[in-house]
Structure 1
Amino acid sequence: MSEGSHKRPWLAAFFAVLVPGAGHVYLRAWFRALLWFWMVVLSFVLFVPEELVDGVTTFDDAMALSAQLPAEAQIALFVVIGFSAADAYWQATQTRQREIGQRCPNCGHELDDLELDFCHWCTEPLTTEPGSADAELEDATSR
């Protein structure tokens, strides 16, 4: 990914709270965006009585409808919106972790898929995490 493509997890979650699926659109996760949007539509269809929806033609009517929603419909919509926001946040953090793993910790440049022990941009050695198999092997060979 390019350097300007860092997606903020909190912004993805915020968009998902406003409109379920919008946080995933921000992350360009198109299938998940459609999935979460249809989950809200499905929960609305399943839990909102049809007689409440009849006659809703304007925005003011829709706002009045939201005040009359039964408790199970409010809970269902709240749960779907909450999970949509949590999933958008999680997706953004996973994307960030993948991006960080492919960058030099010293200069921040993207690393090629070469098996080098140093960054080919800044020539600083690439350190391994303590406790990993590579770190233990490195310690054993340096003795």
Structure 2
Amino acid sequence: MTETASAKRPWVAIVLSVVFPGLGHVYLREWLRTGLWLVLLFATAWLVIPPDLIPQETSYEAIMQASRNLPRDASFLILGLRVLNVIDAYVLARQTTRTDPVESGRQCPECGHDLSEADDDLTFCPWCATELESVEEAEADSRFKL
């Protein structure tokens, strides 16, 4: 069984995006979106943060003082972009989970879990308990649909 993007968990993408913008997209292997979010966030910060607020030294106290002096509009704009980044990573992870097929070929029609390693004589999905069609019934149905 090969691992697909359907194994990506939305909550991991959320946590990574909260830690650093674009990191959730890196987890999802969305390289273009990662770059676009980083460019958007850094360009916004460069445009809205006054140059006189940028500290000359890189001490903790200097950085904290600069962040306290940041204009309210700039803070809200950067926060809004961070929130949109987290939402985008979550939505993308959910879409990827729902749309990517399992490559093994046999999956539950209800929950989508991979059933290739389950017993062939199972009549239900071990994850969601949905009744499964037998292989013969599925083949017969597919012949009639043509």
Aligned mate of 2:107, from 104, 116, 119? 104
State the Cα deviation string for residues 75-97 of structure 1 (Å, max 9, x = none): 11111100100000011011101
- Identity %, equivalent residues: 32
Counterparts of residues 119-138 of structure 1 (less than 5 Å): 123=135
What residue identity is the alignment partner of 2:135? T
Count of residues in Structure 1 that have an aligned counterpart in Structure 2: 119
Q: Considering only aligned residues, what root-mean-square deviation do their CA atoms show, in Å?
A: 3.0
Distance 1:98 1:68, change over 3 A: same
Shift of 1:38: 1.3
What residue identity is the alignment partner of 1:53? I
Counterparts of residues 17-36 of structure 1 (less than 5 Å): 17-36=18-37
CA distance in 2, matches of 1:97, 1:22: 21
CA distance in 2, matches of 1:71, 1:62: 16
Shift of 1:12: 0.4
Shift of 1:98: 1.4
- Higher relative contact order, structure no. (Cα contacts within 8 Å, ≥ 6 residues apart): 2
CA distance in 2, matches of 1:124, 1:80: 53
Q: 2:15 aligned with 1:14, yes or no?
A: yes
1:43 is matched with: 44
TM-score (norm 1): 0.69
1:117 is matched with: none
What residue identity is the alignment partner of 1:95? T
